[in-house]
Amino acid sequence: MIKHEGFPSFAEQKATETLEKQAYALAEAIAAVAPESSAANPLEIFPQPGERRADTEFSLPPHQGNAFREAMAKLGIGRETNLSATEVGLKDGYVAVIEGGQAHKILAELNIVLADKTTRPSSIIIAATPERAIPEPEVDKAKEKETTAKVLGVEIDQVAATEYDVAQQIIYKKLPGLQPQSVSVLDFGYDMDGRVYTGEATGQFKRMGSINHAIPVYLLRVDREYTDPSNPKQYKTLGVRNLIKVVAGVLRHNGENADENADIGFVTSATYQPSREIDAASAMIEIERLGESRNVGVITYGTQELAKVKKEQVPQPPALGQLAGEAHKAAVEVSILRDLLAQKQQEAEAESIVVEPERVDMSKNRIRWDVSPQEIEAMDETQLRQFLIETNQRINGLHEAVKIVLSGYSITKVLTMSEIQAAHDALDPGGPSYVDDINQD
């Protein structure tokens, strides 16, 4: 990742803009719901979302409900139109990540990806979990199974048992131009922190076929780790931020069907746009820490697209419960993103410590400035490292990060005390302890 000193990276810029926009809108949402407590914690005002946002219960008097909707609309919630890959600034050949969920949601997401003729994906990854069962109609006020049957064009008893199975039904029944192939399991796996492992076919990644022999379609299995066997609602899973990191890790290791430097387009509903934009910005910062730059954009469908998929005449606005659950989720992600940005700022400050030779007491610190900039430029990595170790060691009080400026030549290096001692021991066995020297100063 190339970053000009003193300027934020692209990921930091995008994250800061996202944070400011989301925090402002959340403040307005709080003021609409609790005008007497505008400084209240949004996590206390808005309920935690259910496994499906449709299950989140929340109510307000009509005038407050309208004000709450207006505040959340500034973040895209309730928007009738779609927000395409072209409109969010993704490059042609991006990788589309379809967020799982109910069937109408998955199909609406696929529709807006394939409808964009300007910016086309190089591949499509559909993420879905086998851990969420499709509830039976008699116990489900959302009637998910009935809606799924209508979307798929099948009888209710033909709807598959889980979200993961329904995703496969959508792939084979509803994707236009799909050429089914024998399913191939990729040699990738991941853990719940978003780390990717290669060389083992875990079954978490499958290639299902391709659209018009050009766009491969993958199914990513979203697993869960249950922390309390007696409580099925308590579990750890990837979450959107780590899901994006997993996709970036797969692209980094596999350039077969997608450019390893491709953008990532995370596709979801406009109802979830606020929290997903924060997730995307957080993922970009974490990916940058691994030494790569990856643009992530959030593509969303509006209420008109959803009505078309569900075969409804009039687009329906999202329920207040969905808005409240999204406000809660967005508040959680805002806090995470704020911490990430603060951590980046601290790292930048640590790397910007400057020591100028003419301001150092040479007698106290025993520094000999007898190396010219030309000699520094000619050093190989080992020589430069040793030079930095010796120089850093002789500057009293700076043990972790030092930036040395010699006649206009700048060097930045972060060294821990253990690294300094280990390198010194390797090059000068039996020599004096640098750590002891520093502790005695």
What are the pLDDT digits (tens) for 302-332? Answer: 999 999 999 888 878 888 888 888 888 888 8
> Nearest to residue 258, comparing CAs of 392, 430, 125?
125
pLDDT at 366: 36
In three-state secondary structure terms, 14 is helix
* pLDDT of 393 above 80: no
What does the block give as tokens for 185? Answer: 């399991």
Place of tokens 């402002």: 24
Asked whether the beta carbons of 101 and 349 are under 8 A apart, the reply is no
Q: Looking at residues 118-122, what average pLDDT do you find?
A: 95
* pLDDT of 403 above 60: no
pLDDT at 368: 40
Asked whether the beta carbons of 268 and 99 are under 8 A apart, the reply is yes
Q: What are phi and psi of 265, to 5 degrees?
A: -110, 110
296 vs 66, residue with greater confidence? 296
> Nearest to residue 72, comparing CAs of 271, 279, 316, 329?
271
pLDDT band at 381 (very low <50, low <70, confident <90, very high): low
Tell me the DSSP string of 28-60.
HHHHHH-GGGTTS-HHHHSPPP-SSGGG-----
* pLDDT of 437 above 50: no
Phi-psi region of 324 (alpha: psi -120 to 50; beta: other; left: phi over 0): alpha
In one-letter notation, the amino acid at residue 333 is: E
In three-state secondary structure terms, 81 is coil
* pLDDT of 182 above 80: yes
DSSP state, 134? P
Run of H or E residues at 301: strand 296-301
* pLDDT of 256 above 90: no
pLDDT at 300: 95
Place of tokens 């018009």: 212
Residue-wise pLDDT tens digits, 26-84: 888 888 888 877 667 888 888 888 777 667 888 888 888 888 888 888 888 888 899 99
pLDDT band at 265 (very low <50, low <70, confident <90, very high): very high
Using the Cα atoms of residue 91, residue 306, residue 283 and residue 193 in order, give the sign of their dihedral: negative
